[in-house]
Structure 1
Amino acid sequence: MIKYLEESTNNVKSRRKFSKMMQIIVYLVIWSMSIIVFWIGGRLDAMGYSLAVFYLVLPITTFVISIFMGKDNSWANYKWLMLLFFGVMYMLALYATFSLANAIAFDKNNLPKVADMLPGILCSAAGLLTGTIINAIKTKKSH
């Protein structure tokens, strides 16, 4: 009986770890694809690319994944550190696309700005808050 409980606990821990890892991997794949699309041809239509990626794809992805993180108790206090992760990734997306293209074209290095983190942080905060509220409502209903 004890061995069964131990195996069951290990399975749950393993699934939680896998779920957390998949959330990060999904975000990183979408983030990477947005950078690749820019360098393959997105820079030819800079306005369309920036509207699609920086106002739709990255914010929606950040918000949705943050909801899952907010709902998941296994993130515990680390989920609030993810605000910085999403902020840095948003800033790096700007830097890896337009700033880098500008640096290459004009031989001028434009360093990333801390203020560029704000959209990623805000989208993530909204998602984490939404997920935390959903989790609290579910917990309250089950008790």
Structure 2
Amino acid sequence: MEIGNRLKNARNEKGMTQEHAAELLGVSRQTISNWENSKSYPDIISVIKMSDLYSVSLDHLLKEDNTMKQTYQEFLEESTNTVKAKKNLSKIVLLSTYFVVWITVMILFWNVAGTIINELDMILRWILLPALLLFITVTVAKNDYFGKGKWLCVPGAAITFLTVPYTHTQFLFTEETVTFIFRFPNIPYMAAGILISFCGLEAGILWNKICKK
């Protein structure tokens, strides 16, 4: 018997309609129909949920002939590889975005000719970089990227924020401008990076726990 028929029989024995099962599983009725007609296969998480919902064992739902078993195993393996690939891509995009923005800001700060308008310094230093760091750390922790290695975001933020130069505000005629001064280390800004990254990770961890509940 194919897995689709097993899912259909289990649902019928439980006295559930496709609409009711779909609502409890968080999928569409069409998805349930496709699974039961073997037009597509449910992922392993959905199979586990249906096992609990229909009060049947996983062995009962997945115990098939050798051909069917191999087909479903191939599907699960392909799905797992796809999820891993998307997760790895997300990690690369997040980290790359942060470092590209940081490098761009550093190039602008260190190669600017003379002075720069104070508002631009405020946007780059106190809005763009902190907001981006907060978003990335929350996302990393919420999705549990890197496992315990996610805490390396804190020293990483400390190092990148440490290299941002001090600024000195002055007035030239009627325009408020900023002159960049190299003072190493930039402890105050480094402390800000540490605080932002730590708060972001803690918020992401809390978000992850709430989603699991």
Shorter-chain TM band: 0.7 to 0.9
Distance in 2, matches of 1:71 and 1:40, equals 37
CA RMSD in angstroms, aligned pairs only: 2.5
Distance in 2, matches of 1:130 and 1:58, equals 18
Moved over 4 A (4+): 113-116
Distance in 1, matches of 2:146 and 2:122, equals 31
**Cα displacement (A) at 1:3:** 2.0
Which amino acid letter does the alignment assign opposite residue 130 of structure 1? A
Distance in 1, matches of 2:204 and 2:114, equals 35
Percent identity of equivalent pairs: 28
Map 1:62-141; keep pairs closer than 5 Å: 62-94=133-165, 102=181, 110-113=183-186, 116-140=189-213
What's the CA shift string for 1:77-107, capped at 9, x where partnerless?
A: 0111111111111112338x99xx646xxxx
- Matched residue, 1:28: 99
5+ residue gaps, structure 1, are: 104-109
- Greater relative contact order (Cα 8 A, min sep 6): structure 1 or 2? 1
What's the TM-score, normalizing by structure 1?
0.77
Which amino acid letter does the alignment assign opposite residue 60 of structure 1? A
Mapped pair 1:10 → 2:81: yes
5+ residue gaps, structure 2, are: 1-71, 169-179
Paired residues, what number? 131
Distance in 2, matches of 1:22 and 1:66, equals 13
Distance in 2, matches of 1:23 and 1:133, equals 20
Which of the pair has more CA radius of gyration? 2
Contact 1:38 1:49 (8 Å CA) reproduced: no
SS in 1 for 2:185: coil
Distance in 2, matches of 1:69 and 1:19, equals 9
**Cα displacement (A) at 1:39:** 4.4
Distance in 2, matches of 1:102 and 1:80, equals 31
Higher helix share: 1
